Amino acid sequence: MNLEDRRRYLTHARELFNNREYWLAHEALETVWRSIIKEDEALVWQCLIQAAAALVHLARGNRHGTVVVGAAALEKLAGLQHPAIAWRGREIPHDWNSEHMAKRVALIYDVVIVGAGPAGLCAALYAGRGLLKAVTIERGAPGGELLNTDLIEDYIGFESIKGWDLAQKMTEHAKKFGAEIVTDTVERIHRDADGWFDVETARGDTYRTQAVILTAGGTPVKLGIPGEKEYAGKGVSYCAVCDGAFFKGERLAVVGGGDAAVE
């Protein structure tokens, strides 16, 4: 097989890769590999073949096979004299091994949920019930604004419950269906050309997923005055609809002039 034929096969294999036809790409690459005599050149093609095989395993749900075969490809590449390897715009260290590969594969999810407030925990619960591999990333404790609320009397099913207790019950309920909750901060979400999302966190992890649910919630604007933090949920409130009934008949001070203040 001459050089022009090899280029043609490589172009064809790349097109198959981009169309996620990994097994056909594997076969095209193997055809070239069998015709190569030089050992160092053959090794490069072997790496490409094993990379295709790893993706075949991944598509079939065989994560162990993905780790073993993918790590073998990376270890071969690490032994070659070559410029830095880049994947999805990032340089891959030359000392990558099966441990690195296992971590990378472990961070592939059906869905990534950003935020573990009531909405995020509900999403995690239903993802688990739907047998999806999901992870919920929360920068603080699960529960969201519930953790800043002392007493709750307007949540159906509970005549009166502490915000922290309700947050705990929601978290336990979600975990009953397999919810995985990670404490970290999402810093960037990028969608690749293949339609997958890369969710990057402050700890340096990148979660790969085909779906992202954003339930990041919101944080009330604080005044930053003495006593505000100490009395939050104990007389200082940020939600008229939520807490208005607690102050019926009392004299109140409303700070602000927007819609929420008028409400």
Does any domain span residue 114?
Answer: yes
- Residue 242 appears among annotated catalytic residues: yes
- Residue 184 appears among annotated catalytic residues: no
The CA angle 118-119-123, to the nearest 5 degrees, is 115
pLDDT digits (tens, 9 = 90+) for 166-206: 999 999 999 999 999 999 999 999 998 878 898 999 988 88
Choice among 154, 165, 192, 239 that is catalytic:
239
Which of the four pLDDT bands, split at 50, 70 and 90, describes residue 78? low
**Is the same domain home to 34 and 126?**
no
**Is the same domain home to 207 and 243?**
no
- In eight-state DSSP terms, residue 193 is T
The pLDDT of residue 113 is 97
32 closest CA partner among 54, 51, 49: 49
The pLDDT of residue 84 is 47
Sequence letter at residue 94: H
The most confident of 2-6, 31-35, 39-43, 126-130, by mean pLDDT:
126-130
**Is the same domain home to 62 and 14?**
yes
The pLDDT of residue 87 is 47
- Residue 47 appears among annotated catalytic residues: no
C-alpha span between 49 and 30 (Å, rounded) = 6
Average pLDDT estimate for 211-240: 84
Average pLDDT estimate for 225-236: 84
Average pLDDT estimate for 66-76: 76
C-alpha span between 13 and 100 (Å, rounded) = 26
Does any domain span residue 173?
Answer: yes
**Is the same domain home to 180 and 256?**
no
Beta bridge partners of 182: 137
% of the chain surpassing 90 pLDDT? 27
How many domains is the chain partitioned into structurally? 3
| Higher pLDDT, residue 14 or 124 | 124
pLDDT digits (tens, 9 = 90+) for 144-158: 888 878 888 888 899
Is-above-0.95 flag for pTM?
no
Residue 258's domain comprises 221-262
The pLDDT of residue 259 is 76
**Is the same domain home to 117 and 196?**
yes
163 closest CA partner among 136, 139, 183, 143: 143
